[in-house]
């Protein structure tokens, strides 16, 4: 998993509340178990019409936001079913950070396992960041995970809270497998001792 340290990028404004996981990645795209290839279908029913043509008004179809790496969203982002395909699609599109007043718990935890930083900030701070994002591609937001800050294009700084363990995992690029492999030496020692004690197993 890619490490997350500092990110400076375009922020796309999505002032919608209760964006659920079916809106993020509709159910018909859940057949794959690959983490790649889902970005094209991110927010599929909002991005495309019934003929598969892009809907120009949708934020990620607008030229200034096609390379967005940060999403500023409304309250209760990621609610609905617990599909891990939702953070897969967000990451595959190129978004590494989602900022909102609150997140659904399962989606929030799945983000960390996939290299995405979800940041919960008070509504007042999100409102400022939303207005900043509306400036387009010339307005770059900076997210510093080590310092736990978000800085607007005008230099206004917001501090966010984060569990220290989740922070450690993102800073070091550790998903569940990576965390296990940190203990590889201990695992090897245990297996060697077990094989010696129970050679018939």
pLDDT, position 73: 98
Q: How far is CA 155 from CA 3, 85, 86, 145, in A?
A: 25, 34, 31, 17
pLDDT tens-place string over residues 63-95:
999 999 999 999 999 999 989 999 999 999 999
Six-digit token string for 92: 């595959």
Residue 69 lies in domain: 6-197
- Of 63, 67, 60, 40, the C-alpha closest to 52 is 40
Is residue 67 a part of any domain in this protein? yes
Asked if 37 and 63 touch (Cβ cutoff 8 Å), the reply is: no
Q: How many Cβ atoms sit within 10 Å of the Cβ of residue 73?
A: 22
Structural domains in the chain (count): 1
Is residue 1 a part of any domain in this protein? no
Tell me the three-class secondary structure of 96-114, residue by residue.
CEEEECCECHHHHHHHHCC
Low-confidence residues of the chain: pLDDT under 50: none
pLDDT, position 182: 60
Asked if 136 and 155 touch (Cβ cutoff 8 Å), the reply is: no
Helices (H) and strands (E) in the chain, counts: 8, 7
Asked if 15 and 76 touch (Cβ cutoff 8 Å), the reply is: no
Give the separation between CA 22 and CA 196, rounded to whole angstroms.
51
Residue 64's CATH number: 3.20.19.10
Is residue 182 a part of any domain in this protein? yes
Q: 3-state class of 38 per DSSP?
A: coil
Give the separation between CA 186 and CA 98, rounded to whole angstroms.
36
Is residue 84 a part of any domain in this protein? yes
pLDDT tens-place string over residues 8-34:
999 999 999 999 999 999 999 988 888
Is residue 24 a part of any domain in this protein? yes
H or E element in which residue 184 lies: helix 184-197
Asked if 158 and 129 touch (Cβ cutoff 8 Å), the reply is: yes
From the centroid of its chain, how far is CA 45?
A: 20
Is residue 93 a part of any domain in this protein? yes
pLDDT, position 64: 96
- Global pTM value: 0.88
Q: How far is CA 49 from CA 3, 78, 132, 169, in A?
A: 36, 23, 29, 39
pLDDT, position 181: 60
């Amino acid at each position: 998993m890619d490490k997350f340290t500092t990110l400076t990028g375009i922020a796309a404004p999505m002032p919608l509340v209760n964006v659920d996981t079916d809106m993020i990645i509709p159910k018909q795209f859940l057949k794959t178990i690959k983490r790649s290839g889902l970005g094209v279908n991110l927010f599929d029913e909002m991005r495309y019409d019934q003929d598969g043509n892009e809907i120009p008004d949708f934020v990620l179809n607008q030229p200034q936001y096609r390379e967005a790496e940060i999403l500023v969203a409304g309250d209760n982002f990621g609610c609905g079913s617990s599909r891990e395909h939702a953070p897969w699609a967000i990451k595959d599109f190129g978004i590494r950070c989602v900022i909102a007043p609150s997140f659904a718990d399962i989606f929030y935890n799945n983000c960390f396992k996939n290299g995405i930083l979800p940041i919960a900030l008070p509504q007042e701070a999100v409102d400022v960041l939303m207005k900043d994002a509306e400036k387009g591609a010339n307005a770059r937001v900076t997210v510093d995970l080590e310092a736990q800050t978000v800085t607007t294009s005008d230099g206004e700084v917001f501090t966010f809270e984060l569990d220290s363990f989740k922070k450690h995992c993102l800073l070091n690029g550790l998903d569940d497998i990576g965390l296990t492999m940190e203990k590889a030496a201990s695992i090897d020692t245990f297996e060697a001792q077990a094989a010696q004690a129970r050679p018939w197993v």
